[in-house]
Structure 1
Amino acid sequence: MTQPVAFVTGASTGIGFETAKKLAAHGFTVYAGARRVDKMEPLAARGVRIVALDVTNEESMSAAVGGVIAAHGRIDVLVNNAGYGSYGSLEEVEPAEGRRQFDVNVFGLARMTQLVIPAMRAAGRGRIINVSSMGGKMYEPLGAWYHATKFAVEGLSDCLRMELKPHGIGVSIIEPGGTRSEWGAISARGLRASSGTGPYAAQARVMAAVLATTDKAAFCTPPGAVADAIVHAAISPRPKTRYQVGGSARALLLLRRLLPDRVFDAVIWTIYKRFPA
């Protein structure tokens, strides 16, 4: 059998970068897609094939997927990892930014999935792995747009899993907690820009401090650990439908299941106010 083919979106840094490396090490022909092509050059040295990809652009997505299918006749595994976190009060974040958050985190994921399904269905097999977040089941202040997209990814993925099962295509959801990457620092900058002054400034200072720790805090999960879960979902004969990765994800999601809403609200603020603003 020829090498299985995987396509990883959002592969310029963090989870996507580590996933591309690990899938290549497990014998996959890996295509890594992102807008920042220069950031993926180290992957090329490991045999990963680099693709310019913008998941908000139809032409870019169609060309990227079409090129891989033309070369190999199929894509065996799609890892939908591209995404970012837009934070700020709902009152203050511009509607255009809310739409962009959905374009990247939900509609880009959905369109990439649409593009790979026909070849998977024709082959009678395939894996679609959607990187969600513990934020798809819990919430934070000033994170309305981001959390809304991750709740949407959870529902989309559950529906997709059921409709694709008769065609031999599996769907798994990855739910990381805080992960060491540039994601948090970028999200914190956006939060300060949108809500750092004005009526939500006090909350914004707390939340920005929390977000800014994700590249160095001891409780945050290395991106390689999340990549390990993705590889398991890609190669296991019986992958899980969901992978909660990291102690923070498991602990907070357990509390979310057990506690009433207002008690969980209080827990979140108690935890988050420990971070120096």
Structure 2
Amino acid sequence: MVRVAIITGISSGMGRAAALYFQKQGFEVYGGARRVERLVDLKEQGIHTQVLDVTDKISVRALVDRTISEQNRIDVLINNAGYGEFGPIEEVPVENAQKQFNVNLFGADRITQFVLPKMRQQGFGRIVNISSVGSNIYSPLGGWYYTTKASLNMWSDVLDQEVKQFGIRSVIVQPGMTKSEWSKIAFKNAKKNLEDNSPYTGLLNKTEDLFSKINGSEATSEDLAKVFYQAATDIKPKRRYYHSIVDHGIVMVARTMPNTYRAILSKVMK
């Protein structure tokens, strides 16, 4: 029997790699992104693509309805669509913070609400939510991004408790630093958020320099696609999935020894 996965945000990075990897493993893959012109080659390779804006209820429903109409099942939902926007909390416009929540958290909720009735009818399903180690660790200027991911973690845990009675599980993948354009985009947005003559300019430069030097544990998008697959297919799923022991370790330090993590961060920021 063919398994079916819906993956959001497949135009680049981890989402794109996951779409290709899941297909290679025998899944019928449905997915989309706002930049539909970047989906042409995926469509040519047999992935079912369409324009998708996770902030638009009509767009989200169209993808789910198409999947059910053509396959009559949804085994896996990968909530991958998201982005990072950095900037000092004092200066980031609240509208920008709301936009990030609308994509990173409420976008996942929109499509999940449409997928759950079919999964309940089936008696099985797996929802994989792509969070970040930044849901537990933190650095200056990432306040709103980290908050969206921490919220996604809690949302996923509560959802899991509610739906496991129906044979459905909700789990979290927490990527660390990846070989992608993510940090460049985050800091490009941060510079846009700075006010003229901002007192945070020096901190931004220092933080951006720190991110550029953290590359020892970087994972490729293809590495993360395999973690997505494990989270989607493990018979006994874990609450959290990590690419490396380094990613897992720094999260454990931040969670269990917050003062130690803060001291380490202060030291590396000097």
- Match of residue 15 from structure 1: 14
Q: Which amino acid aligns with 2:28?
A: T
My pick for the range that moved more, 184-193 or 232-241, is 232-241
* 1:34-77 per-position Cα deviation (integer Å, ceiling 9, x unaligned): 11112222322331111210011111111111111122222110
My pick for the range that moved more, 242-251 or 173-182, is 242-251
Contact conserved, 1:176 with 1:249, CA < 8 A, in 2? yes
Contact conserved, 2:136 with 2:255, CA < 8 A, in 1? no
Distance change >3 Å, CA 54–CA 239, structure 1 → 2: same
- Match of residue 162 from structure 1: 161
Distance change >3 Å, CA 213–CA 77, structure 1 → 2: farther
Q: Structure 1, unaligned stretches of length 5 or more?
A: none
> Is it true that 1:264 corresponds to 2:261 in the alignment?
yes
> Is it true that 1:141 corresponds to 2:140 in the alignment?
yes
Shift in Å at residue 254 of structure 1? 2.8
3-state SS of paired residue (2:105): helix
Q: Distance in 2 between matches of 1:223 and 1:271?
A: 27
> Is it true that 1:200 corresponds to 2:195 in the alignment?
no
Distance change >3 Å, CA 70–CA 245, structure 1 → 2: same
* 1:135-165 per-position Cα deviation (integer Å, ceiling 9, x unaligned): 1112111111101100100000000111110
Runs of 4+ with deviation above 4 angstroms:
211-214
**TM-score, length-normalised on structure 1?**
0.92
Contact conserved, 2:8 with 2:81, CA < 8 A, in 1? yes
- Match of residue 72 from structure 1: 71
Task: Write the mapping of 1:34-113 to structure 2, written as runs, cut at 5 A.
Answer: 34-113=33-112
**TM-score, length-normalised on structure 2?**
0.94
Q: Distance in 2 between matches of 1:111 and 1:71?
A: 21
Contact conserved, 2:82 with 2:103, CA < 8 A, in 1? yes
3-state SS of paired residue (1:191): helix
Q: In percent, how many aligned pairs have the same letter?
A: 37
CA RMSD of aligned residues (A): 1.7
Q: Which amino acid aligns with 2:255?
A: R
Q: Which amino acid aligns with 1:230?
A: F
Q: Which amino acid aligns with 2:209?
A: A
Shift in Å at residue 108 of structure 1? 0.4
- Match of residue 221 from structure 2: 223
Q: Distance in 2 between matches of 1:78 and 1:195?
A: 36
The number of aligned residues is: 269
* 1:192-246 per-position Cα deviation (integer Å, ceiling 9, x unaligned): 22137511111111222344568xx343111111111111122222222210223
3-state SS of paired residue (1:176): coil
Contact conserved, 1:24 with 1:46, CA < 8 A, in 2? no
